[in-house]
Amino acid sequence: MAEPLLQVTDLKTLFHTPEGTVHAVNGISFHLREGETVAVVGESGCGKSVSMMSLLRLIPTPPGEISSGTALYRGDDLLRKSEQEMEDVRGREISMIFQDPMTSLNPVLTIGRQLTEALRVHLGLSQEEAEKRAVQLLEQVGIPDPARRLGDYPHQFSGGMRQRVMIAMALSCAPSVLIADEPTTALDVTIQAQIVELVARLRETLHMAIIWITHDLGVVAGMADRVLVMYAGYIVEEAEVQDLYDSPSHPYTLALLAALPRVDRRRDQRLKSIPGAPPNLLVKPHGCPFAPRCEFVIEKCREENPPLMNVGKDHTSACWVAVTTGLHR
Amino acid sequence: MTDPKFLVEVQELKKHFPVTRGLILQRRVGVVRAVDGVSFSIQRGETLGMVGESGCGKTTVGRTMLGLYPATSGSVVIDGDDILHARGREMLKIRRKAQIIFQDPYASLNPRWTVNSIISEPMRVHKLFASDQDRTERAKELMGLVGLNPNLINRFPHEFSGGQRQRIGIARALASNPVFIVCDEPISALDVSIQAQVVNLLEGLQDQFGLTYLFIAHDLSMVRHICDRVAVLYLGVMMELADRDELYENPLHPYTRALLSAVPIPDPRKDRARKRTILTGDVPSPLNPPSGCRFHTRCPIAMEVCSQEVPQWREAASNHWVACHAVGNPAWSKRLDA
């Protein structure tokens, strides 16, 4: 198999705060192949955004600290690059879009100004060329009357349209990887469907690899090739998308799926809720972080944190218990 | 005229917000028709869901019904009392019976008040107990009821997580022993694993106290789970209203169909296999809603008549109400199913 586009190994990110050290990302490893869509799923505070922002070195240091790991992008370690070298990576090689398009766009600059900046800086286009390209980009993401809208400010766009502008901006230098951090969470389902369809179409035409961060297992089902499930700064399960939904292996994945109501099914019983709350990351993890909420918990879980183990073809899970048989690993 | 089966009856409710310009003169330059003639009723012990995209007026319906916004016109009767024309003491009496749980558990609790003051406040307002001590006892009881540790009664909201704060909001809503609660997107700010906890809590309380809910939400999967009947709103008017399974299995209005087809299904095979109707564009501005059927600018099957005539609100099947020119029209049935 060809070398993956991105290979992350043992990434750890900490935040040093007055209350103590927050263990946000606790040594995660994963890879991304060319043209592939990987979804990173988990609840707030599970480290999904922090880990991806660490790759792009967007973590403010201090208080943040990337304490270990490597992130090989086309063979080069992103974590060892200088700030100047990173500027050539961000936007050009790897782009990121965020959940809230209103706070990610500068409210006092026109859309045209914000779109052309990357084109001029990264591609060295003249203002005139950059504007021409900006119009094409806005057209590509489905904004009507793009030439006129270049002079508009962010507040003149709706939420869905702003997210399209963000996508246009992220795609402006034709990156190989797009990291999308909950890009549809703030949007209505109808607009979410539009954005998901847009990204799928752009992926086809531009052959991008996508990392899609979300808490919504519904959206994942429709668009991802592979899924990473995160909990408390760890990857607890990784599988091909169909495999994950057919045979979820980690108790947390199982519980998340059971807690979801289904639009396509009649209700049969109460939802199965997960007791308790996600752990406090200020405490250095000891044992499996999900153990206090887990219905399959055994003594070993509280002693020793399970590593990711093979449970099927390209399917790994960090659990001492095989949930289908109840056997211990 | 009121049917005792129904706890809540809303007739032709309208809420228009004036748009003014100028700091001193405040000239009226327009009107936002946030709610523009909505009628429905809710049976005792029932949960009515209200869905639609942002800006369709769902929250305004909930707030206007409780008199939190003065209504422009229409009538709202809750447990036999006309809430929109009530004043003073009478209003207080109705308010005791009808409460609300807000969407944002961070913004809806006063950060300077202890949990005790927050939960006891409705009891103080409605003079429910003789002493503060009794009210504190009751507040502790309510905390236990919603799954909070009563020993934390003197803590402040910031010491709780989002899910726990929402439980404080629920305890506050229960404090005056209401019969009806407007749940205004009570779970949309919460994590998936916490959403199920709060929904199960709301269902448990409903069983225990026979509560009636208006459940406002944009998560159509959760609405199917929790509601008995569902109303679909678009730009301040009702598009469709039916029993839960009837609406989800046999949606009639093109808007309802588009909404449902946009909801992702957590099953890759099923989600990728189904046909989607993706609506183009956004909800138009309620400042200047489209003529005729308000949905015609985004409707995949709109005809000329749709932009000219407002479709009638009628019962297309038993207990299944819809406002669409195409429904029941044989010439259009093919287009509708295409």
Instruction: For residue B266, give the nearest of A161, A217, A278 by CB distance.
Output: A217
**pLDDT tens string B23-55:** 777 788 888 899 999 999 999 999 999 999 888
Per-residue confidence (pLDDT) for residue B2, from 0 to 100: 55
User: Per-residue pLDDT for B173 more than 90?
Assistant: yes
pLDDT (mean) for A189-196: 87
User: Per-residue pLDDT for B244 more than 70?
Assistant: yes
pLDDT (mean) for A293-299: 91
CA dihedral B82, B84, B89, B93 (to 10 degrees): 50
Which residues contact residue A24 at a Cβ distance below 8 angstroms, ignoring those fewer than 6 apart?
A: A13, A14, A15, A47, A50, A51, A233, A281
SS3 A14: strand
User: Per-residue pLDDT for A152 more than 70?
Assistant: yes
- For chain A, what percent of residues have pLDDT higher than 70? 99
| Whole-complex ipTM | 0.83
Per-residue confidence (pLDDT) for residue A1, from 0 to 100: 52
Question: Residues B150-159: contacts with CB within 8 Å, 24+ apart?
Answer: B152/B115, B153/B114, B153/B115, B153/B116, B154/B114, B154/B115, B154/B116, B155/B114, B155/B115, B156/B111, B156/B112, B156/B113, B156/B114, B156/B115, B157/B106, B157/B109, B157/B110, B157/B111, B157/B113, B157/B115, B157/B118, B158/B111
- Considering only CB atoms, which chain A residues are within 8 Å of B197? 273-275
Band of residue B230 on the pLDDT scale cut at 50, 70, 90: very high
Per-residue confidence (pLDDT) for residue B336, from 0 to 100: 66
Residue from A117, A101, A95, A76 nearest A154 by CA: A101
Per-residue confidence (pLDDT) for residue B1, from 0 to 100: 47
Tokens 């991105």, residue?
Answer: A6
Closest CA in chain A for residue B276? A193
More confident of the two residues A293 and B106: A293
Amino acid at B286: P
User: Per-residue pLDDT for B334 more than 80?
Assistant: no
- Structure pTM? 0.88
Mean model confidence pLDDT for chain A: 89
- Considering only CB atoms, which chain A residues are within 8 Å of B276? 193, 197
The DSSP element (H or E) to which A89 belongs, if any, is helix A83-89
Per-residue confidence (pLDDT) for residue A272, from 0 to 100: 87
Per-residue confidence (pLDDT) for residue A187, from 0 to 100: 80
Per-residue confidence (pLDDT) for residue B333, from 0 to 100: 67
Least confident of A157-161, A189-193, B107-111, B131-135: A157-161
Is A156 part of the contact surface with chain B (CB cutoff 8 Å)? Answer: no
Per-residue confidence (pLDDT) for residue B73, from 0 to 100: 94
The DSSP element (H or E) to which A9 belongs, if any, is strand A6-17
More confident of the two residues A44 and A296: A296
Residue from B310, B303, B296, B294 nearest B331 by CA: B303
CA B43 to chain centre: 15
Instruction: For residue B278, give the nearest of A197, A262, A270 by CB distance.
Output: A197
